[in-house]
Amino acid sequence: MALFGRAPKPDAAARRRVEAWLRKAGGYGPDTAMSVSEIVCTDPACPGTETVVLLFPPGEKTRAVKIAGALDALSEADVAAALGQD
């Protein structure tokens, strides 16, 4: 049984909006590469849809952040809270 799946691809505007919030909340400049993805966990113990962010600041370790919820349903406060929790 597969535990993870892919949700329908969120629109590009939602992805850009979340990336902008990540840069603002984390103080990341344009030189920090980011990967923003959505996964759906089918395990009953999982929260369902999660947004998974990988941050690649130059000269630093890669940072992974999980945010409960679909990418297009996130708020700026959700993103800021997730960055402060890991």
Check which CATH number belongs to the domain holding 30 and give it.
3.10.450
CA separation for the pair 7, 56 (Å, rounded): 24
* 44 — pLDDT class (breaks 50, 70, 90): confident
pTM of the model: 0.80
Q: Which residues of 3-32 are buried (b: 16+ CB within 10 A; e: fewer)?
A: eeeebeebeeebbebbbebbbebbebeeeb
Summarize the confidence of residues 20-35 as an average pLDDT. Answer: 95
Looking at every residue in the chain, the average pLDDT score rounds to 86
Whether the per-residue pLDDT at 65 is higher than 90: the answer is yes
Strands 33-41 and 4-6: antiparallel
Answer whether residue 9 shows pLDDT above 90.
no
Token pair recorded at residue 33? 């590469």
Domain membership of residue 35 as a residue range = 4-85
The pLDDT, as a whole number, for residue 2 is: 47
Work out the average pLDDT over 73-78: 95
Provide the domain count of the chain: 1
